[in-house]
Structure 1
């Protein structure tokens, strides 16, 4: 699509992520993609997320890429911690609709306080399907960027069948039963399904059921990676756009364009400690273990210690992201005797530029919770994974990574230092097959996002055509 020449003539996309780190990141990448293709962007966060981004990432606004925010109605929260997930979900469904409707009404209004082109489309997080109503009221396409893998989306969509099959709560001995009633899903056990251990976690199931009301559903995935599942969805609902990996597509689309590739230095709500990259420069190729459990996972102090001693005892250099709130209910800290043992061999940060870390030649393996952003970024880097999934979509992402895509090894639920050490050594010393498969998937991701012929590139073109009506 050719870029337009004046701000007033640009199509105007309002992008609204769910207010969590793992949701803001892909939405911001999508917004940058559309911006590089000539869209005017209004990126809408809650006040809490907007303030965190300002402090951590130095947001730069352009004349045609601006940020707006609104209150979430929740009590104040420390900059070192995340908002309570349950309260946030409740606030989203009870507090967000009216301020978002008012904001959209003000955008482009010649009598309002915001001067910009009329809104031509709304793209919101899949956890916020009520935004479809706002789009319908102003007569523009309303699309959803779904924040999980396609396999997780399908599992959530058909989650109601667990009750019909009397699998909630899961009877003893049924956790390892293979699921055969979800279209496109293969070799997945009951234990791998999202929220199977959290029957009260109704919100994502409800959102998945409502997603087909949108003008389109967007996934940060690519055709080759989840072909069977995309075929299954497309047979029910044709307006599905797999345009991932988003960063690869952004790199491909933005090269040579008139807009800067990056609107902000980072999409992180934590301050990234870039000095870890200098530390990586000092290490031998394929020698470092990288550990990060994302922005939401918490663990006990004992689990932290078992991980720490297991990684330490493997005798490999490591880079570890330990958020201040990683240990539930207390500040995450390693004991002095362990810090003394790892001095010079381990580098600990509270947050880091993960995509740059995964691309670094010194890194050999990624110990991860299997959140979808981390999984896609690992695939994009050709990086093998050691998987420790905890909740939500993480178990099914782990299952696909280990069994279908062949790029990971599962650690299991129980964390013991000897098992951690053994698994790290196995992947570091004998993980050639995992690395080979990871590199193969990276090449397929590059093909999907390259030029005009890649599947994600073509799907992006179709998406833009649909957004333009």
Structure 2
């Protein structure tokens, strides 16, 4: 939201020097404070806290913005809300102050359908799990064939967002994501960071159960088109970690086109030390040059993610290990030929936009669904199933980089890149949808 003058609020001005006046303010989530700016997020705690504590704080903020306490803010009143689809308390706030509300669902459209089908899985007794043995005994390979989920043909339990992988019917994550998917029927419009060519079937399946739905992605391509290189907004980012600036210079240093494997498991996922070592020695055995983001807190249990010196010696001269990097620019670099990813939706879309095929190792949430679609519907990805083993990983990397399946993945990835570019070009489907969202929802008067 842009503002013509500063507010008399507890705000932080994070975009000094840009052409417009953006004002940022926060509401408390009532979670314990931490001095560790790199702390991994506790998803269940955030879900429980935001859904139970944030509505009064948001209403208080909106009241101050609207001058309801006789404070002269010097700005027009709030006329609409654009909110995170997992913060559905904001729908209630919009209703109370009488303004339209649009919700941005930050998972993929296909993963939304998975969450929306949770209630039916519970009714059929397919979830929650009867015991933890069902995580590994083949039960998750059960095909869900009731025809009501709207997902791809042959979808299995393992392909649904992972919150059903619990034995507890009262599990916080299971109930939160089921509830938020069901409450997505409440706002005046729903926004998806996707495009019609990529997820048209999923978007069609949800149009009968949701308010007007607008596919406006990939948002990263809109940003790139709208922000001139070298301009005042070019340096603005939203990374949770500090980027290392020398990564792009390393990629520029003589690496042939499509010769580098880029590895990143996102900002939240944690793995065991054994998994870290299996990935390390698999990368080493593949023979390929690689760039690997290894966060200090990547390993669960508080251990620092430390790679053994013998591994570093084995890959010296053909590897770069960083803590974080500008991922979009890395994926767009001509040297990168494969993305070893956790299949988070932002990473998936960035890879699609850059035309880079994926080797997927989904961890949790929507990642299993995104991986399934990359593997069987979009066909620009392969999946590492179950526990990673170094020899298997090395073989999959070689197949993805030089094998027949890899060539087909690369061809499909190039096609999806072109379609994403067309969708976000002037007159493209997502540009049109964005205009419709503004006219039909955000500028509409509440009756």
Q: Do they fold alike, i.e. is TM over 0.5?
A: yes
Secondary structure of the structure 2 residue equivalent to 1:235: coil
Relative distance call for 1:226 and 1:41 in structure 2 (3 A) is farther
1:18 counterpart residue number: none
Alignment of 1:55-94 (within 5 A): 63-77=20-34, 78-94=36-52
Q: Give the Å deviation of 1:341.
A: 2.1
Question: Is residue 411 of structure 2 the alignment partner of residue 445 of structure 1?
Answer: no
- What are the superposed Cα offsets for residues 74-100 of structure 1, whole Å, 9 maximum, x if unpaired? 223312222322222222122222221
Question: Is residue 270 of structure 2 the alignment partner of residue 295 of structure 1?
Answer: no
Q: Give the Å deviation of 1:161.
A: 0.8
Q: Contact 1:108/1:118 (CA < 8 Å) preserved in 2?
A: yes
Q: Give the Å deviation of 1:275.
A: 1.0
Q: Contact 1:297/1:390 (CA < 8 Å) preserved in 2?
A: yes
1:128 and 1:59 mapped to 2: Cα distance?
28
Q: Contact 1:293/1:368 (CA < 8 Å) preserved in 2?
A: yes
Q: 1:237 aligns with which of 206, 210, 213?
A: 210
Relative distance call for 1:185 and 1:261 in structure 2 (3 A) is farther
Structure 1 length-normalised TM = 0.84
Q: Contact 1:123/1:143 (CA < 8 Å) preserved in 2?
A: yes
Count of matched residue positions in the alignment of Structure 1 and Structure 2: 419
Question: Is residue 442 of structure 2 the alignment partner of residue 467 of structure 1?
Answer: yes
Question: Is residue 422 of structure 2 the alignment partner of residue 422 of structure 1?
Answer: no
1:387 counterpart residue number: 360
- Structure 2: 5+ residue stretches without partners: none
2:370 counterpart residue number: 397
Secondary structure of the structure 2 residue equivalent to 1:323: coil
Alignment of 1:33-72 (within 5 A): 40=3, 63-72=20-29
2:96 counterpart residue number: 137
Alignment of 1:164-203 (within 5 A): 164-170=123-129, 173-180=138-145, 181-187=147-153, 188-194=155-161, 195-198=163-166, 200=171, 201=173, 202-203=175-176
1:332 and 1:139 mapped to 2: Cα distance?
50
Q: Give the Å deviation of 1:345.
A: 1.6
1:166 and 1:449 mapped to 2: Cα distance?
42
Q: Give the Å deviation of 1:332.
A: 1.1
Alignment of 1:160-309 (within 5 A): 160-170=119-129, 173-180=138-145, 181-187=147-153, 188-194=155-161, 195-198=163-166, 200=171, 201=173, 202-253=175-226, 262=233, 265-282=236-253, 283-309=255-281
Q: Give the Å deviation of 1:302.
A: 0.5
1:68 and 1:169 mapped to 2: Cα distance?
39
RMSD of aligned alpha carbons: 2.4
2:85 counterpart residue number: 126
Q: Give the Å deviation of 1:159.
A: 0.6
Q: 1:434 aligns with which of 396, 404, 409?
A: 409
1:131 and 1:142 mapped to 2: Cα distance?
8
1:113 and 1:305 mapped to 2: Cα distance?
59
Relative distance call for 1:339 and 1:255 in structure 2 (3 A) is closer
2:202 and 2:256 mapped to 1: Cα distance?
40
